[in-house]
Structure 1
């Protein structure tokens, strides 16, 4: 473990590749994730080094919790298929004492206000989408539509993706909506989601195109999901346009859900309250052009948050652990980044095998949430210790607020 500017950073020197700098002190890192990082570091267009966050774990193609700077190429599978996935949070003027003792009606109101989950049925509406989108969603979609039409002209298959009716909806997996208290017992509203079905379709389209363009070279890649699109090639500018649009869609998706979350809360809480006292809306699965070490590079954050000096971000724990509002310290060695959460310690299938509904009930006893077998894969014990994760990245961010959830809605 090297000491860089008094930081405990593990540095992996990669033969025929770039170094890997890991902010993982006191946090376990699986060997499969280390191998995957080395594979990425050997790609010829990696710039300077890879930065690895303390929530690091094995991902598809590239490692979740990694910051991948590139010059002249982008790896679509590193950005992933939940393009623009991220967090939004806002502090209200409510205090904990303003909420009722029984929070079940509030959870029900939120579940009714925001489509969530997913159903696959023959010809019927997916329960995770709108039947008739509300006015706010229609307005947001009208703003996104002209750019989407340009993308669809080149890639017609994207038109059939679930786009308009997914805007303002939660999804499944680790996506959630929460009501939280901070250290001063003030009430926060927070949620986690991305670009839904249309982002998935865009991601998969360009992953497939990258692999097709590199068909002759796939055998030489350590992983076919490291297939990349070179700057100046046929699909590069199209990918940047599509991924940028999906990131804007994801941000609008969170904005729409937050508006409906606030409205649902106002239906249950009689006391008038204000919002946007402090607000954050940040991606953690995305790519954008930035300047680092004197060069313009494409920075892919795969499960990582921008943490420039003074920039606010959100680092959620699991559905039974604390979450954090943080302020970036602008650590240049980390490409001004931090973790996007606690990070999983086991797969969803392993969590389902290992834990029971009784375990879930004990772990979330303080939270008004579902506790059935369909959410066992999100049990807090399937995640790393958020306190250890925060300690490992003490040179990347400072904690502004510590949140504990009292209501959690899962897809």
Structure 2
């Protein structure tokens, strides 16, 4: 059974905070107490078992709001999420040496700060995105000044990975079937949109719902021009993130086809956000649900919960638990900062913890070492009320930005 810890509501803390783990640090608790004071938060805040402190809002939190949205709760990697597909290949059909496959993917999909030299996405993808972006930048021309070579950049970044904890993996499931899995978001323009509206919310400092305990929790009230503009912009970024993952998957499959036996994709394909806003009905109310580091786990909905680059990942099916607002964790969750990981671990530690995985093993990715993350098995055990496991994956190749 999942564990549920509740910070009780009172005059100081506001709505209850329901936490599906006992493994939570004091800094996250203090952050959640501030979030719970917001008068437009409905019912309670749900906190997933991969919880850790974030900027503005706690990572792993599900925040239901009425008539207001907090841009910093979504963050700057709007629409960040996962994509996974199963191939009709078995483990014994893969080559013993996976390095050529890794290098082929890296040549096809830019990682880190790199972008495509030319636009790779099809016109059928670019044109609708461009058309829906025009009204946004017409009203908020400052966005253009925040991204170098604005149009060329967002178009050339479609089908690129980015850095940090974004990744591309080849995995094997419990049946020795081969999966391709990736994690990325809305790239540079999504970051610009998030940053721009977070600062705008702070500048406007709306007080329709009273005191805000932290400037990072500044919000837009429904009915204001900024609210409508942010909803339009965040929906665009979420669509872009979805298309970015889809384009990246296309390029990955294109890269690996010449190096593998002929294959096809199975019907099992998942593309889901874990930093986003959606309008949903819960407890008889239409609410804005902000999932910051959480995925939707509605009844029989499929999702992806990745571990670290040396641990298992999971394909899951949702149980529509109302107390979590039909949500579950988005991964293992960090247990230490990137800077602390760089101080505590060295290259030998990384090599030891990624044995048997074709991946970078240099100091440039030491902050992504498995020991910097929580135990994914414990995280999964704590959310047995939220999801059931459909497939267990183990990566054999991992590309980090």
Q: TM-score, normalised by structure 1?
A: 0.93
Residue deviations 1:161-180 (CA, integer Å, cap 9, x gap): 33111111100000000000
Name 1:112's counterpart in structure 2.
Answer: 107
Q: Distance in 1 between matches of 2:352 and 2:168?
A: 20
Question: Are the aligned partners of 2:77 and 2:187 in contact in 1 as well (CA < 8 Å)?
Answer: yes
Q: Distance in 2 between matches of 1:267 and 1:374?
A: 29
- What is the CA-CA distance between 1:216 and the residue it aligns to? 8.3
Q: Distance in 1 between matches of 2:390 and 2:269?
A: 12
1:88 to 76, 83, 97: 83
Q: Distance in 2 between matches of 1:374 and 1:112?
A: 19
- What is the CA-CA distance between 1:103 and the residue it aligns to? 0.4
Q: How does 1:283-362 map to 2 (within 5 A)?
A: 283-362=273-352
- What is the CA-CA distance between 1:234 and the residue it aligns to? 2.2
Name 1:186's counterpart in structure 2.
Answer: 177
Q: Distance in 2 between matches of 1:216 and 1:90?
A: 45
Q: Distance in 2 between matches of 1:227 and 1:158?
A: 20
Q: How does 1:127-138 map to 2 (within 5 A)?
A: 128-134=114-120, 136-138=121-123
Alpha-carbon spacing, 1:152–1:188, altered in 2? closer, same or farther (3 Å): same
Name 1:255's counterpart in structure 2.
Answer: 246
2:222 to 199, 224, 231: 231
Q: How does 1:7-406 map to 2 (within 5 A)?
A: 8-16=3-11, 17-25=14-22, 28-118=23-113, 128-134=114-120, 136-160=121-145, 161=147, 162-214=153-205, 220-269=211-260, 271-406=261-396
**Structure 2, unaligned runs of 5 or more:** 148-152
- What is the CA-CA distance between 1:223 and the residue it aligns to? 1.7
- What is the CA-CA distance between 1:277 and the residue it aligns to? 3.0
Q: TM-score, normalised by structure 2?
A: 0.96
Residue deviations 1:351-385 (CA, integer Å, cap 9, x gap): 00000000000000111000110100000000000
Residue deviations 1:207-233 (CA, integer Å, cap 9, x gap): 01100111889x953221100010111
- What is the CA-CA distance between 1:332 and the residue it aligns to? 0.7
Alpha-carbon spacing, 1:137–1:410, altered in 2? closer, same or farther (3 Å): farther
Residue deviations 1:316-372 (CA, integer Å, cap 9, x gap): 000000000000001011100000000000000000000000000000011100011
Residue deviations 1:120-175 (CA, integer Å, cap 9, x gap): xxxxxxxx2111122x3443111211010111101113235331111111000000
Q: Distance in 2 between matches of 1:32 and 1:14?
A: 18
Question: Are the aligned partners of 1:20 and 1:41 in contact in 2 as well (CA < 8 Å)?
Answer: yes
Alpha-carbon spacing, 1:7–1:106, altered in 2? closer, same or farther (3 Å): closer
RMSD: 1.5
Q: Distance in 2 between matches of 1:176 and 1:7?
A: 28
Q: Distance in 1 between matches of 2:211 and 2:227?
A: 21
Q: Distance in 2 between matches of 1:300 and 1:316?
A: 20
- What is the CA-CA distance between 1:9 and the residue it aligns to? 1.0
Q: Distance in 1 between matches of 2:130 and 2:325?
A: 33
Q: Distance in 2 between matches of 1:368 and 1:389?
A: 25
Question: Are the aligned partners of 2:21 and 2:382 in contact in 1 as well (CA < 8 Å)?
Answer: yes
Q: Distance in 1 between matches of 2:246 and 2:7?
A: 40
- What is the CA-CA distance between 1:89 and the residue it aligns to? 0.1
Matched position secondary structure for 1:87: strand
Q: Distance in 2 between matches of 1:167 and 1:224?
A: 33
Aligned length: 393
Question: Are the aligned partners of 2:298 and 2:320 in contact in 1 as well (CA < 8 Å)?
Answer: yes
Q: Distance in 1 between matches of 2:298 and 2:178?
A: 26
Matched position secondary structure for 2:142: helix
Question: Are the aligned partners of 2:2 and 2:381 in contact in 1 as well (CA < 8 Å)?
Answer: no
Name 2:150's counterpart in structure 1.
Answer: none
Q: Distance in 2 between matches of 1:208 and 1:243?
A: 15
